[in-house]
Structure 1
Amino acid sequence: MKKLHHLFWVLLVFAVSAFPAVLSAQVQTFEAISGHAVGERVTLNHQVVRYLQHLDEASDRVKLFRIGTSYNREPQYGVVLTAPANHARLEEIRENALRLDDPRTLSTAEADQIIQNQPALLYLGGSIHGFELSGTEGLLLFLEEYTTSAEPHIMEHLANTVMIIDPLINPDGRDAFAQFNHQRLGRTVHDDNHDWSNDFDGWEARKFRTSHYYFDLNRDWFAGTHPETRNRVALLRHWRVQAGVDAHEMGPNTEFYVDPPTDPVSPVFPPFATKWFEKYGRAHADRFDEHRVEYTKGEIFNFFFPSYFTSYMSYQGAVGMLYEQGSSRGLAMQRSDGTTRTLYDAAFQQYLAFTAMVGLSSDEREQLLTDYYRANAEAIELGQSGITRYFIEPTGDPHLITEAVNMLMRHGIEVHQLTQETTLRNMRDREGRDAGRVNLPAGTFVIEAAQPRYRFIRALLDPEIPVPATFLEEARQRVDRGENPRFYDTTSWSLPLLFNLTAWHSGDRSRVSAERIHEPLQPGMAEAPEMAHYAYLIDGAQTRALAAVPYLRAQGIRLHLLTKATQVDGRGFASGTLVVRVDDDAEAVHTAVTGLAARFDLEVVGVNSGQADAGFPPLGSVEGGRLSEPKIGLITKGPLDALSFGWAWHTLDRTYEIPHTLIQSRTVGRIPLERFNTLVLPAVTNGRALAELLGEDGMARLQRWVRDGGTLIGLDTATDFILNQLEMGSLKSWYALEENEQAQRITTPGAFFRVTLDQEHWMSSGYTAAPPMLVNSNRVYVAPEGPPSPARNAVIQVQREDIRISGHAWAENLERLPESVLLWQERVGSGQIILFTEDPNFRGYWRGANRLFLNAVILGTSR
């Protein structure tokens, strides 16, 4: 059998290489198609697409496929690169990969049989950060060689592998930088760091790095807030690759980084990937040594957070690898030792790494596939002990529940749903606390741990992934030396906490009656309401209900907000419920409400009376009030954090479709602010610089606008700007207190805390209990001393005791944060300030805080 197996691959290589001269004559170079050689100009997305289309037409080694479209409407394409003989049976190869991914579908003997004749499936992607150029350019070099060369080793690689080539993950950011660079090029290329082709400010850097909405796409992989990531999640599920690469860049004075990573590594990170990091690392080192390329490994970058693309690939079963090439910034940049790195240099080193990765995958194809299959089998076995089930109850915001369940299924995680009420033992709640026996209603979603994505299930649904103690010891030493502790990201991201879901987990393996869900869920609330005589009620449990407010008020339709829960005809309605008045225009109101119910998938109930059930507030209750039309301005550019801006922009524009205007910070002092009743100020990177940009007149105008009735909402570090530069508000920084002035600032690295919520305040509308709150900074704010005042409200404060839920917090954080303020509202003249001391729109996936932000933005001007 071994001899026959070897003969099969020899014949396949021969078949691929039989007519190399014809192939070379048909396939043109990248330069012939694009008009420039790799490294001469920054390649635009349309040029990448045209080259891929040419290869699809000219080469029998290439098959083009559509990946999707970016937010900026840029088309994205990839190619399958492999031997013609593999193309002839490509669907069979893909189906075999799916079978190897799930050992429940085949025996070990059947898996061994598949592996004998199965190529390794590989993913090669570049430039998820737009101005990190060399990943894309390196893949163009790689494609040119692998579609024209007849060298025996390339023929063998093509025979032994199926490569999914995805040259440009982030076209919006890349094209923004390419245009910047092209417009500044002269006759010759300058490597001077201060040449204007290499010199851009912090806001521009964010623009070139990120998506159209200023999101870092390399933090978006479990959330999938963007089409660029969602489409590639589908791509990985479609092919089920065994190994993949995400090619990045870092600072110009650093050398090429390849895995294995440094600490911390998550305790649930797949050991299959860790084992192969060492193998691939040695292959990369050998290739670099051959070409005298400097490199490093095991010193920087980690795999603790599960939402980097490389860690995401590993949780999806592959060996997900990170390349970090020293950057050339544009076409050339001088390094600290006086040498110059060009774009071609950087691209060539990426190309070398790609060839090393593909070469090892080809050489050790059989072992890679075998280990891959065994790792998936082990995952299923591990899921049969310890925590064996996770549950999400169908209570709370129906849209957030739907989105969370659909997110899990999008990642290939199997979800079932209880068909009847069920009681289980040994249950723990979403915070990991013992809950004993819990009665789960029919419709509860069930995620069994014993499935191929076991480790990813744990990463997303466990209340906490502990940071390894050895790393914490070293990190603490760095903190004490005043250095960066090297938390590369947040330390808590549990899905039930992010989405504020009622969730449980258990080791109880009792049989339950449940059916698997195969199609994406819809909340199913958009059934048109019956014509109402008195009003329509839009239940406040739905955060999306607030999206209807601007559209209804723009049509002159009266709205009343209930800040207390009520009950009508035996049916409960949460606080934050909207009462849509029919008045004397029943048909027009019905048409408007019905259209918005369908648009936002809202549950709407028509009622013929303003009365509520006995003991509950009526629909005209004083526990509420009339709503005005929100006229929202979101401030942008200048010394503001582009990420914070982008998160707020995406929340308003994409998630909830709320009308707003983007106002450049430099114009705040010149435009008629009275056009707006609500302004949102994202995180401020430099408060003094923003004050200087606004000038004395701009600062005075902003202060006067608030006092005349405006609502100014500050996010994250905008809190400091409003308190200190604008001198509005009585909230105090803990560090500003005389006894704390010398205290070292200690950052909480992204942890969830238990809080108290003022349920009597209108900002708590839509919440039945305090949501978990994320702290991701070193800021600590304390409420002013003195008697309570209706003009000053600490809406959310950290609890006094037992404050940490999940994620790492230093002893200093645990000492300082109790009773600190996370959400503050204060009257200023006829207006108000609302201060979120952390960013409620964090990365678009802290969805449980959306309601707080929308309460401020939509309801604030009416309160």
Structure 2
Amino acid sequence: MTISRMLLAWLATSALVPATALAQSYAIPHEELGAVGHVAKIDPEFYWPGANYDPQVPSPKSVLGYQLGEAITPHAGILRYFEALAAYAPDRMKIFDYGRSWQGRRLIYATIGSPDKIANLAAIQADAQKLADPRKLGPGEAEAIIARHPAIVWLAYSVHGDEIGPAESALQLAYHLLAARGDPRLEAIRANTLVVIVPIQNPDGRERFINSNLSGMGLRANADSASAERDQPWPGGRSNHMMFDLNRDWFALTQPETRGHTDAVLKFYPVVMVDSHEMGSDRSFFFPPEAQPINPNVTSEQMALKALLGQNNGRWFDHFGLTYFTREDYDLFYPGYGDGWPTTQGTISMTFEQGSARGLVARRSDGTSFTFADTVRSQFIAVMSTLETASRERGRFVRSFYDFRRSAIAEGRSEPIKSYILPAQKDQASTDKLAAVLTRQGIDIGRATTSFSACGRTFAPGSYVISAAQPTKRLIRNLLEPDTAMDPKFVAEQQRRRRAGLGDEIYDVTGWSLPLLYNVETVGCTLDPVVTTVRADPTMIQPGKVTGSEAKAAFVLASGSAATSRFMARALAEGLVVRAMEGGFTLEGRAFPAGSLVINRGENGPDVAEKVANLAAATGAVVSGFDSSWVTQGPSLGSDKAVKLRDPRIALAWDSPADRNSAGATRYVLERKFAVPVTPVRVSRLARLPLNQYDVLILPDGEGNYAASLGEAGIRNLRNFVQNGGVLISLGSATSFLADPDIDLIGLRREQATLTEAEAKGRPGEAKAKPGSDGVAGINIPDEAAYRQVIAEPTREPTDLDGAILRGSTDPDHWLTAGLAPRLHMMVTGNQVFRPVTADVGANVVRFDGPDELRVSGIVWDDLRQQLAYKPAVSVQPRGRGYVVAFTIDPTYRGMADGLDSLMMNAIYFSAARASPIR
């Protein structure tokens, strides 16, 4: 029996089995455990020559059984090594838990510093909190703190699970800081800094990667990118368990890993922060300064300090003969990254990107190879350089943080918008959640206890007030303003590049305003309202309640609230009979909109009141009780327009070609926001699976070809599923599959790009080719404009949208959009534009607004703005006994588009209620 040495090393750390016992079991000499996959053993001095490590300090090899870089250390091994160091040097290192991953793995950070700093961590944190809020400092107190406060350097590793080198580098760094005796910089680093290490931000993704890597491991480590050990099966190791990219979740706060991490950062308020990543194998190493565009809320001092750190990194990389690049690809515009969000808090935060081995060894396209150990070393060198700079410039970094927070307060007092108000409104649950998300990021928010007047209008109790004159003012502007301005020169250059066929250089989304994504009204005021407030509650779901009478006849919930949708799902799961009203109605003088829910006493058991009260408290829903069911206007509670809902059985297409982010976000929205169970079904099984066991099948946004993956049998199965009463829902690019004329499951048709005015005039005239001519017909090209016309593609895709928030209108008369706001804000990416379904075929229940009202936030190129106007965002079409609901957008985008959650729930529940499945 044979087994790879890498597998033995992994078993030794993950199962916590002594390496010697494993070696004896498989008759492999113990000393060979360090040499994995025939990669040469690594000299400890490979990482930092002349370090002269103290032999009393536990080394990685003494704990893990191999030298760093010879094997990929699993999460359990990382914890084990950090615990070994903390046990050896408790006066210099402490470990803290900041949460658990979805799969229950510990999330930790370790503080490393001189004995006096570790003994006085509480005092250091208290000083950091004071610097973070200059409003609370007395005269001279700031200078005293700046004089004594260490430069807190926060080092976060491997937020993407298949970016394996950074976490390994964290082990080397911790060992070096505690054991090295030959590094002259360490005395100053220990004196001037407090180092905080988050060794791994995404343990679930890392374990997924290690498992796939080990399962493909052969006789020796294989550098071929096509080898099984380096070819990650869907969904890959990048994302967490819920398939989220954690590096884009910093202000959305949808994932437990991010929520715990941001909470921990706000306890220390570091002055320097590094988020260590990996990138494609053909690339070298990136560190700041960043590329354009730069977020306008970043200060010039922050950019100067980033340059200072980068220059020192460059000197050390030159010293070791390592290549790198700056000011390319990685910008500083979107504040949802692990470097962007801390930057808005005043931290000098940076992304490091190392070309990844994605295994133990990688071959670049030029034929050269490098090892996993090489990547560990580069990350280690870059971080040691960062610590050196932070130590040398301790006072400047600490003062920069304090000045950032202090100047933010001053700007908030002097700029035109002095405060923001989130009015108490119909969807109060979403407003409450938005306030909670903002509060969790250190923003001071007050909830009004009385009504008040401001900015020319009156606001009800429960409205939220956010003053701009606070230390988080720049974060507030980023998250609450409808639009964040991008440098006009940069935008103009992107326009030029597009016209030249070069594509733009925008890295990620360009619009992200949280009130827009939540579909929550925000009012910017030129003054601070005078009103008594209490501090906003950071709880995401506030308890709901039952109001009115004893409800001898019925309970009613107004539609249009996320809380109502949560209640609906939970109530149906618990067996209550729930009806949705197709039209608005008036009961005991109160008007309720279409889509409102009714729970009739006579259709439910004797404990219905208790169940309703418990559900209201758990979901945040506001329920009204009525002693009479006599409706004075609109449909009666027992009419055919009071549609009985069912608890649908939902299947979600899983695995390729589904996009992992869309599949994960869809599952997250349903299961975690609304407690709706979902059955993930691999696309490869849909061809032969009896789909009649489900009521709803969701196809997420795709990254491949659904038609090819399903084949004729799969397509036929989908068609039969709908014909026999199923509901088929497509998101984003999956709609292109359904709209393909050869598939024709929805009457939408995808469009090519529209012609520009110049293109519409036609190309230069062509002479007719003579019969038998071997050449093409001749043309005259009189000028460069004509030349551009000649080389233009005869047909092309619409302009690609990097990510912007667009406005759309809902159909007030259709049951699918019943009760929703008349206008919605939608995150739109990609280049899919569809011709609407005709009225005889289906309904376009949400459409984009006109060209002048369409864009709300972000960069939308003019040609796409014109073409998208009045095009469908959601269409529904009956087919046989079932329905097809096609979203041309992805309403579950990154799990943060809360304003579209009720639309998604309507598509599932209201469609399923109207279908007539064959049982």
1:800 aligns with 2:850: yes
2:419 and 2:465 in contact (8 A); partners too: yes
1:376-455 aligned within 5 A: 376-384=405-413, 385-425=415-455, 437-455=456-474
The one-letter code sitting in structure 1 at the alignment partner of 2:60 is: F
Q: Any idea what the Cα deviations from partners look like across 1:383-414, whole Å, max 9, x if unmatched? A: 11221111101112222111100111100000
Q: Offset of 1:222 from its aligned partner?
A: 0.3
The one of 70, 94, 97 aligned to 1:66? 97
Distance 1:605 1:442, change over 3 A: closer
Match of 2:517 in 1: 498
Q: Any idea what the Cα deviations from partners look like across 1:128-178, whole Å, max 9, x if unmatched? A: 011011111111111111111234421221121111110100001111101
Q: Offset of 1:542 from its aligned partner?
A: 2.8
Distance 1:609 1:516, change over 3 A: same
The one of 59, 70, 73 aligned to 1:40? 70
The one-letter code sitting in structure 2 at the alignment partner of 1:632 is: I
1:808-823 aligned within 5 A: 808-823=859-874
Distance 1:554 1:353, change over 3 A: closer
Q: Offset of 1:801 from its aligned partner?
A: 4.4
Match of 2:552 in 1: 533
The one-letter code sitting in structure 2 at the alignment partner of 1:765 is: A
Match of 1:760 in 2: 813
**SS, match of residue 282 in structure 1:** helix
Distance 1:417 1:350, change over 3 A: same
**SS, match of residue 604 in structure 1:** strand
Q: Offset of 1:25 from its aligned partner?
A: 4.9
Q: Offset of 1:509 from its aligned partner?
A: 4.2
1:146 aligns with 2:177: yes
1:52 and 1:78 in contact (8 A); partners too: no
1:619 and 1:709 map into 2 onto residues whose CA distance is 26
Match of 2:605 in 1: 586
**SS, match of residue 639 in structure 1:** coil
1:163 aligns with 2:216: no
1:841 aligns with 2:892: yes
Distance 1:248 1:63, change over 3 A: same
Match of 1:131 in 2: 162
Match of 1:649 in 2: 667
Match of 2:790 in 1: none
The one of 332, 336, 340 aligned to 1:311? 340
1:527 and 1:606 map into 2 onto residues whose CA distance is 7
1:594 and 1:222 map into 2 onto residues whose CA distance is 33
1:391 and 1:505 in contact (8 A); partners too: yes
Match of 1:430 in 2: none
Distance 1:551 1:464, change over 3 A: closer
Distance 1:553 1:403, change over 3 A: closer
The one-letter code sitting in structure 2 at the alignment partner of 1:757 is: T
Q: Any idea what the Cα deviations from partners look like across 1:635-654, whole Å, max 9, x if unmatched? A: 11121111111110111111
Q: Any idea what the Cα deviations from partners look like across 1:413-464, whole Å, max 9, x if unmatched? A: 0001233333333xxxxxxxxxxx2222232111100111111000000111
Bigger mean CA deviation after superposition, 147-156 or 826-835: 147-156
The one of 705, 717, 725 aligned to 2:733? 717
Unmatched runs of 5 consecutive residues or more in structure 1: 1-20, 426-436
**SS, match of residue 583 in structure 1:** helix
Q: Offset of 1:602 from its aligned partner?
A: 2.6
Match of 1:181 in 2: 213
**SS, match of residue 122 in structure 1:** strand
Distance 1:861 1:82, change over 3 A: same
2:263 and 2:440 in contact (8 A); partners too: yes
The one-letter code sitting in structure 1 at the alignment partner of 2:668 is: H
Q: Offset of 1:69 from its aligned partner?
A: 0.3
2:195 and 2:638 map into 1 onto residues whose CA distance is 64
Distance 1:284 1:508, change over 3 A: same
Q: Offset of 1:502 from its aligned partner?
A: 1.7
**SS, match of residue 663 in structure 1:** strand
**SS, match of residue 466 in structure 1:** coil
Distance 1:32 1:772, change over 3 A: same
The one-letter code sitting in structure 1 at the alignment partner of 2:436 is: N
The one-letter code sitting in structure 2 at the alignment partner of 1:798 is: F
Q: Offset of 1:784 from its aligned partner?
A: 4.2
1:855 aligns with 2:906: yes
Distance 1:801 1:471, change over 3 A: closer
Match of 1:672 in 2: 690
Q: Offset of 1:501 from its aligned partner?
A: 0.5
1:462 aligns with 2:478: no
Match of 1:431 in 2: none
Q: Any idea what the Cα deviations from partners look like across 1:258-301, whole Å, max 9, x if unmatched? A: 00101111112243421211110111111111111101111221
2:547 and 2:52 map into 1 onto residues whose CA distance is 63
Unmatched runs of 5 consecutive residues or more in structure 2: 1-50, 761-792, 915-919
The one of 607, 626, 636 aligned to 1:618? 636
Distance 1:780 1:693, change over 3 A: closer
Distance 1:604 1:828, change over 3 A: same
Distance 1:507 1:556, change over 3 A: closer
Match of 2:4 in 1: none
1:617 and 1:623 in contact (8 A); partners too: yes
Bigger mean CA deviation after superposition, 313-322 or 619-628: 619-628
Match of 1:695 in 2: 711
RMSD: 2.3
TM-score normalized by the length of structure 1: 0.92
1:195 aligns with 2:206: no
Count, aligned residues? 823
Q: Offset of 1:492 from its aligned partner?
A: 0.9
Q: Any idea what the Cα deviations from partners look like across 1:9-41, whole Å, max 9, x if unmatched? A: xxxxxxxxxxxx999454211121122221111
The one of 525, 542, 549 aligned to 1:523? 542
Match of 2:29 in 1: none
Match of 1:280 in 2: 309
Q: Offset of 1:760 from its aligned partner?
A: 0.6
Q: Identity across aligned pairs (percent)?
A: 29
Q: Offset of 1:356 from its aligned partner?
A: 0.6
Distance 1:829 1:793, change over 3 A: same
The one of 70, 73, 82 aligned to 1:52? 82
Distance 1:140 1:381, change over 3 A: same
Q: Offset of 1:563 from its aligned partner?
A: 3.1
Q: Offset of 1:232 from its aligned partner?
A: 0.7
The one of 378, 382, 401 aligned to 1:349? 378
2:727 and 2:882 in contact (8 A); partners too: yes
**SS, match of residue 447 in structure 2:** strand
Q: Offset of 1:544 from its aligned partner?
A: 3.5
The one of 726, 732, 740 aligned to 2:749? 732
Match of 2:620 in 1: 601
Q: Offset of 1:110 from its aligned partner?
A: 1.7
2:189 and 2:61 map into 1 onto residues whose CA distance is 24
Match of 1:211 in 2: 240
Bigger mean CA deviation after superposition, 319-328 or 676-685: 676-685
The one of 662, 678, 687 aligned to 1:660? 678
